[in-house]
Amino acid sequence: MDPMNYIVLAALLFTIGAVGVLVRRNAIIVFMCVELMLNACNLAFVAFARMHGDIEGQVIAFFVMVVAAAEVVVGLAIIMQIFRTRRSASLDDANLLKN
């Protein structure tokens, strides 16, 4: 097993997530893409931990999961609030703030 394969997979997942954030217009989907990016980071951490024979990377992955869970709570609260107001989660509709 070459850990580099997993690093490449992590980079791919991260890129898919990043592209998703940039091209999708639904706030929930964008948010899911961010979560995909965080999980790609987790994969990279765990693969590197294996490569270095070190436990630290696996511990970091747990911390990231907790942070991601907290982020979901805050994020969904904010998206719900704007959805109830506008009856839409589209980011293109939210365009009041400009000069």
Instruction: Point out which residues bind other proteins (CB under 8 A).
Output: 7, 10, 14, 17-18, 21, 27, 30-31, 34, 37-38, 40-41, 44-45, 48, 50-57, 59-60, 63-64, 67, 70-71, 74-75, 77-79, 81-82, 84-86, 91, 94-99
* C-beta of 5 vs 84, nearer to other proteins: 84
* Cα→Cα distances 71→14, 36, 57, Å: 18, 13, 21
CB of 7 to other proteins, least distance (A): 7
Asked if 27 and 90 count as a contact pair (C-beta separation under 8 A), the reply is yes
Separation CA 11–CA 65 (nearest Å): 18
